[in-house]
Structure 1
Amino acid sequence: MENILKNCAMSMETRLRVLNCYIYPVLMYGSEAWSITTDLRKRLESCEMWFLRRMMRIPWTDRVSNEDVLIRAGVCRKLLKGIRIRQMRFMGHVLRKGGLENLALPGKIEGRRSRGRKRVTWLASIAEWIRNRGENTKEVELLNMAIDRELWHNMIAKVS
């Protein structure tokens, strides 16, 4: 019996390694340019939980909470956090590089906007995430911080 339990634990470890090495990178491909809205955030979180439930063979009819699944797997949510870190690194890279991307990043392009509610911009979604993590900085301050590489890497480490 102990041998079976040992093999199951080894199997779960292997599954988590496959998830982190093969599945997440494919899922996060191009995520540096995503504006993460509430709907997209919910979809990403549910996708992450679906992967864990499938790996642990927990059917949705068992009514096991997400927190219990995370505890059983011995992991924490890291898909959304990984995407945000990639976005922040990309932001620093683009701002230090200069060029056309640097002009488009703040979203100050001339022209008329379409009707309806303003869309969530890429920079605004990153700034909101940073504010939720405890840093009280504005979008303009983020742009200025990203230009200094050392300061920006410290900021990424602090919010992640």
Structure 2
Amino acid sequence: ISLETKLYIFNSNVKTVLLYGSKTWKVTKVIMSNLQTFTNKCLQNVLKMWWLDKISNRSLQDRTNQTPINQEILKRKWAGL
């Protein structure tokens, strides 16, 4: 499966379920950190990276063309999605 297809599946299935109802959440730093960690681990799996491979969060987001979870949640809160 191509990278584009994997990212499409991730965005349409995983991220949608993960952020469902996020516009009503009281988001703390701990919750945000846990969500970002989960998302990063999923993206590393999409890229077939071994858990020992080190990559910065920014590099991971650049390689997969993703935005940080905190920006996604804020966007959903302001857009009313």
Tell me which interval the TM-score lies in, with the shorter structure as reference length.
0.7 to 0.9
Write out per-residue CA displacement over residues 130-157 of structure 1, whole angstroms, 9 at most, x where no aligned residue. Answer: xxxxxxxxxxxxxxxxxxxxxxxxxxxx
User: Which consecutive unaligned segments of at least 5 residues does structure 1 have?
Assistant: 1-9, 91-160
Match of 2:56 among 65, 79, 94: 65
Residue 77 of structure 1 aligns with which residue? Answer: 67
Q: Number of aligned pairs?
A: 80
Residue 19 of structure 1 aligns with which residue? Answer: 10
- State the Cα distance separating 1:12 from its structure 2 match: 0.4
The alignment partner of 1:36 has SS state of: coil
Match of 1:55 among 36, 39, 46: 46
- State the Cα distance separating 1:81 from its structure 2 match: 1.8
- State the Cα distance separating 1:53 from its structure 2 match: 0.2
Between structure 1 and structure 2, the one with the greater Rg is 1
- State the Cα distance separating 1:55 from its structure 2 match: 0.3
User: Which consecutive unaligned segments of at least 5 residues does structure 2 have?
Assistant: none
- State the Cα distance separating 1:71 from its structure 2 match: 3.2
CA 1:49 to 1:62, structure 2 compared with 1: closer, same or farther past 3 Å?
same
In structure 1, distance between residues paired with 2:37 and 2:60 = 12
What TM-score does the superposition give when structure 1 sets the normalisation length?
0.45
Matching of residues 78-157 of structure 1 within 5 Å: 78-90=68-80
- State the Cα distance separating 1:83 from its structure 2 match: 1.6
Query: Per chain length, whose mean CA-contact separation is higher, i.e. which structure has more relative contact order (CA < 8 Å, sep 6+)?
Result: 2
In structure 1, distance between residues paired with 2:59 and 2:77 = 29
- State the Cα distance separating 1:78 from its structure 2 match: 4.1
Amino acid paired to 1:15: K
Residue 45 of structure 1 aligns with which residue? Answer: 36
Work out the percentage of aligned pairs sharing the same amino acid.
Answer: 26
Amino acid paired to 2:74: R
Aligned Cα RMSD in Å? 1.8
What TM-score does the superposition give when structure 2 sets the normalisation length?
0.80
